[in-house]
Each structure stands twice: as C-alpha cells, then as structure tokens.
Chains A and B, each alone.
Chain A
C-alpha cells in the first residue's frame, strides 16, 4: 500500500489521546505508571514529554480514589482518561465504576455529565495466571450506564479513542494485550494496520464486517476477530465462505448488523475470550432468537472460555483459550446436526 503508515494499537491510542489533548485543554490522563513509563502497555507513551506531569498524572496504587476522582473531575467539566492497568484489578474499585461512574448521570436525571474514559487491558495466553489474564467484557457490558469499546486493530483503536474522549458519558475502553504491539508480549500481526495521522472518529454501535461471506457468520471482538479471520481462512480451504463481524463496541451493541448477516448466512458462531456463561455469546444468540429464530438454519455455536479460573500452566491455558481450530470444529458440529 502506498504511503502506508502502520501503527500498533498502543501507538494509535496514544496518538488519539495526544490529538484530543491538543484540541481540548480539559482532557488529562491519570493512572498507574502512565507517566514516565508511558503505560505498561505503551498506550500513553510520549504524552508526558509533550503535556507534562500536570496533565499526565501518575497515581498511587489507589484505584478507588483515582477512579472516583475521575468521576468528580468529569462532573466538574474535565475529561479524564484513566487507566486501570489490568481489568482483573477492578475487584478493588468496582464500586467507583458501576455504582458511581455508571449511575450518576441517571441519578441526576441527566443533569450531571460524566465524560471520562476508563482504559483497561485484558486477555491471556502468556501464562500470567488467573488474576492477570481475564477479559471480563460481559461484566462491564452487563451493567447499565457505561459504554464499552473493544478495538481489534490500530485504525479502529484510534478512531474509537477519539470518540470515547469526546463522549459526555463514561466509556470503558478495553484493549487486548495480545493486540497492543508490545515487544515483550506476543502480538497478533493483524492488529497493526494502516492508521492515518490526521484526526478521525469512529461512531459507537457500528459493527464492521471485516470479511464478507455467505455460509456462516462468525461474531467476535478484539482478539476474537483475528481468530475468526483465521478460522475463515481454514474454512475457505474446505469450501466454506465465512463472514466475520467485528462488533467494535459492546455497548452500544449493533444488533442489526449481526442479525442481517445471520439472516444471509443462516449460521452463527460467536467467539469470546470471556467466560462462557451469562456473557456475550449468549447475548448475541438471544438477539437472533428473539428477533427471528427462523433466520437460523442450524443451532448456533459458541467458542468461549470455559467457566473456570484461568490456569497458569501453558498446556492448560492453551486448552481453555478460543482458537481458530475450535471455530472450525464448531462449524463442523453445527453441520452435523
């Protein structure tokens, strides 16, 4: 591609944040190790050099206080971008997230705005154990009052970040560690894509068909999209033409695009790295079943994390994680019925 400008998700997040900080002096960033270190996952790298330590604020390890503080600052007209280093850590501060950040707009009858972004990393596959490997998408998407964003590539990551910062509502921006492009973490190459330097936004609630197909719809977010694309390649070798849908945001959820795709293909596989029960996979299948169950020509399948804490040992973790082969097997199972 001519004039191609490939960025990692980490760099595209930092670029979007910097651009928003230039256009709006009320935008600032705070969190653990986001200053000199530039974020454990690189998504604030370079910001402190340009904006200084007043607008790029390292915090103590006090998530309840600084997430609560972000809510207070947002209500007072600022636009904080806050980092919760690992989504697994929400257990120490969830009150500030679901009872405070997500509810104050409603409690105030819409008179208080809460324009803040809570960035957090998720995802396993590198033997970091059961408290540093979860994605927990469903937990956040289940509770009302916060938007939930899950980019699968650098182009989307940048546009979704700009939209998140400009939104007057709280946005949880959930990035996947395996897509960040950090040297010390294995990175999915498909996430590092052409990303224009100029500012742009991507609207929430618009899923993207990343590969068109006619035989089966594979739905996912984040790393799941890449697993879906790899599965589609494997299926193609078997003469099956799969369509892959990247939801991009879980709240709001683009149910129409998913439904229209399933109506076309008649077959549905939902991929999720979150625990299987009570989560994204069930929600997507319910969406189709409620709207028109006859759109489905076979029972839908899900490829999700088993309902177990994440194991450390490499063979055990790999056994549990979704992968392209599992998606291919799910298709075969669907056709056997």
Chain B
C-alpha cells in the first residue's frame, strides 16, 4: 500500500510542522532557565520531551486515520498529536499552561487531550495501551469501522500493561494497532541492556497477531505496513504490532546531558535526519520542486509561529479554576 503523491506531501508537511514546533519548544523552554537551569522557571515549566527524529512514526500511521479513530500516545506526544490533527494553537496554549489550552492548563505537555480528534496521551509508560484496547472494543461493539492506535516507546514493552493489553486485544480480535517507536533508549538505558529480544515485533507471535518491523525510520515503508494493519483492523481481522526503528535526536527530556550516548552516535543519527531524507525523496521523485519545498517550509513555519503567538498572548487561568473539572 504505497502513498500517493498527495499523501507523501501531506506526510512531509506534517513532519515539518512537527519539527518546527519542537524547535520552537526547544528555544522557548530555555527562556528563564539560563544561566541556572531550573525546571520550574520560564514560560514552559516542567519536563519537556521532544520528538525530533521520530516524526516518521507518527505520519506513517496517522496518514491512514480519520477523526473518529482513537489514538493514545506517550509522554513524548507532540509529533503524534500533530499527525492526528490536534489543534496546534490549543495544544501550544496547553503547553504554556494557558486558559485557552486544550484543557485550560490542567494537563500540560504530557497530558494532551483533544476530544474532537480522539487523541489522548499519558505520562506513564505503557498506560495508553489499555485505553486503546477499550476504545477498540467500543468500536467493535458499536459495529463502527473505526480503529484505535496505541503509540508506545520500546521501553514500554517490558511493562505488564503491554503484555496484558496485547493478549486481550488478540483474544477479542479487536481493531487496534500497537506502534512501537524504537528510539533504542529508555531515558539512559539502552534497548540492548533492557530487552531480551532484538526486535520487539517478534513478541507479536506470543499473542497470535502479525508483527511487523520497519527498519531505518522509513515513513514510506511504515505507511505501507500500517495501511495494511489498519485495513485489516477495519475489516475485523484483529490487531497488529508494528515496531519502527527510529531516532531520538534530542535528549530524553530538555536538560538531559546525554552522557550515556556513545561517541559519534548523535552525529551519525543527525546525518540520517528523516526530514532531510523525506525532502530529498520528494524532490528526487518529482513530487515537489525546490520552489514548492520553500513554500511548504514557510507555510509550516508560519503555522507554528501563529500557534506560539496565540499561546504567548493568551491569559493564564484564574488560580481557583484549579478546583473545577474534577468531575463532569
């Protein structure tokens, strides 16, 4: 299932928006945090997990999704949210803790919730898997052809929730796709030091579902495999597990000195930046021209700039609004 030129263009545009958004986060996050780094200071306090380099995982899957499809994402959620169509301005405002944010500032960067496009994420490793299974159960019970996708990092496969959820999804033949973004690091612990198998896709065999491995952070190959998995899920053929070999081009969180990285690793990964590769692919294939690339780039940057401006200019919530929305 190969993407059309239009789909390829959409994927590239979305990857650019995502990258520019993260670059803006990277800069703004450090405001008020120099010369002394204090996580509580600046316009964006708290932890910040950037998704630079992992964009292919989000677009290769979300290119197939419609708003009624459910996505549960991780503590590193921006690229996934952007690919699912979460409103960029409202998301930025939420990350700034503003009243206009998706949740009025109650969630923040690790708790992005957008009911309009059925997107939710979580700060706990593997926590989104159960809800994705449940959303898929809901779709199945309603006779709807929508699906659920759970994104997770490769570190999450060693959580009980992963194994329980895959088994349950397979037992009930649910329309859910589990997508592992393997960036090979669980904070500072390498995959080799934490995981008994080389490729987690083989774990699918234990749960009687197809397991697919996508090498080299390839959004086109992922589009193909995810398309089949999603089509199967919509047709009632049950779940699929996909593992994507990807790259984390930033630290685990902002402020991570990354002393655990082997010498040269980051340079090697950056030389394979998926944004650059996608641009070259589209130009080589004649999908876009250099001029169009410039336009696409400027448009993506403008979207991000407008979202950041909206967030900066929005008001903070009244402090006592903290007491609202515990219950509906």
Contacts and interface: CB of A to CB of B under 8 A. Distances in A.
Interface of A: 28, 54-55, 57, 59-60, 62-78, 80, 92, 95-96, 99-100, 104-113, 144-145, 147, 168-169
Contacts of B167: 60, 62, 65
B138 A78 contact: yes
Interface in B116-133: 118, 120, 122, 124, 127, 129-133
B161 interface: yes
A68 B106 contact: no
B104 interface: yes
A75 B141 contact: no
Most buried by B among A66, A77, A92, A109: A109
B120 A68 contact: no
A72 B168 contact: no
25 contacts: A28-B141, A66-B130, A68-B127, A68-B165, A69-B130, A69-B134, A69-B165, A69-B168, A72-B135, A72-B137, A73-B138, A74-B134, A75-B120, A76-B138, A78-B137, A96-B161, A99-B122, A104-B120, A105-B328, A106-B325, A107-B111, A109-B101, A109-B102, A112-B113, A113-B328
B234 to A, nearest CB: 16
Nearest to B325: A110
B109 to A, nearest CB: 12
Contact of B103 (A54, A77, A107, A168): A107
Given A75-B120, A78-B138, A169-B328, A111 B115 contact: yes
B165 A65 contact: yes
B160 A64 contact: yes
B66 to A, nearest CB: 14
Given A72-B131, A104-B113, A107-B107, A77 B138 contact: yes
A160 to B, nearest CB: 16
Contacts of A70: 134
A68 B115 contact: no
Q: What are the nearest 9 A-B pairs in CB distance? A: A68-B130, A72-B134, A72-B131, A69-B134, A109-B103, A65-B164, A108-B113, A62-B164, A76-B138
B59 interface: no
B164 A73 contact: no
Contact of A68 (B131, B139, B171): B131
A92 B138 CA distance: 24
Contacts of A60: 164, 167-168, 171
Contacts of A69: 130-131, 133-134, 137, 165, 168
B130 A75 contact: no
Nearest to A55: B141
Contact of B130 (A67, A108, A144): A67
A77 B142 CA distance: 10
Contact of B104 (A28, A73, A109, A168): A109
Contacts of A28: 141
Contacts of B164: 60, 62-66
A194 to B, nearest CB: 32
Contacts of A72: 70, 72, 130-138, 148
Interface residues of B, number: 44
Contacts of A80: 134
Looking at chain A's contact residues, the main secondary structure is: helix
Contact of A76 (B70, B165, B324): B70
Interface in B259-292: none
B326 A144 contact: yes
A224 B214 CA distance: 59
Contact of A75 (B133, B135, B142, B327): B135
Interface string B87-111: 0000000000000011110110001
Contacts of A78: 134, 137-138, 141
Contacts of B137: 69, 72-73, 78
B103 A108 contact: yes
A75 B168 contact: no
Interface string B159-175: 01100110110011000
A245 to B, nearest CB: 24
A64 B134 contact: no
Contacts of B70: 72, 76
A272 to B, nearest CB: 24
A252 B72 CA distance: 30
Contacts of A108: 102-103, 107, 113, 115, 120
Most buried by A among B136, B137, B139, B171: B137
Contacts of B115: 108, 111-112
B130 A65 contact: yes
A268 B328 CA distance: 34
B83 to A, nearest CB: 20
B133 A95 contact: no
Contact of A109 (B107, B124, B135, B160): B107
Nearest to B116: A111
A65 B133 contact: yes
A75 B104 contact: no
A148 B310 CA distance: 40
A168 to B, nearest CB: 5
B161 A65 contact: yes
B276 to A, nearest CB: 35
A122 to B, nearest CB: 23
A72 B131 CA distance: 4
Nearest to A77: B138
A68 B129 contact: yes
B327 A54 contact: no
B118 to A, nearest CB: 8
Contacts of B101: 109
Most buried by B among A68, A74, A95: A68
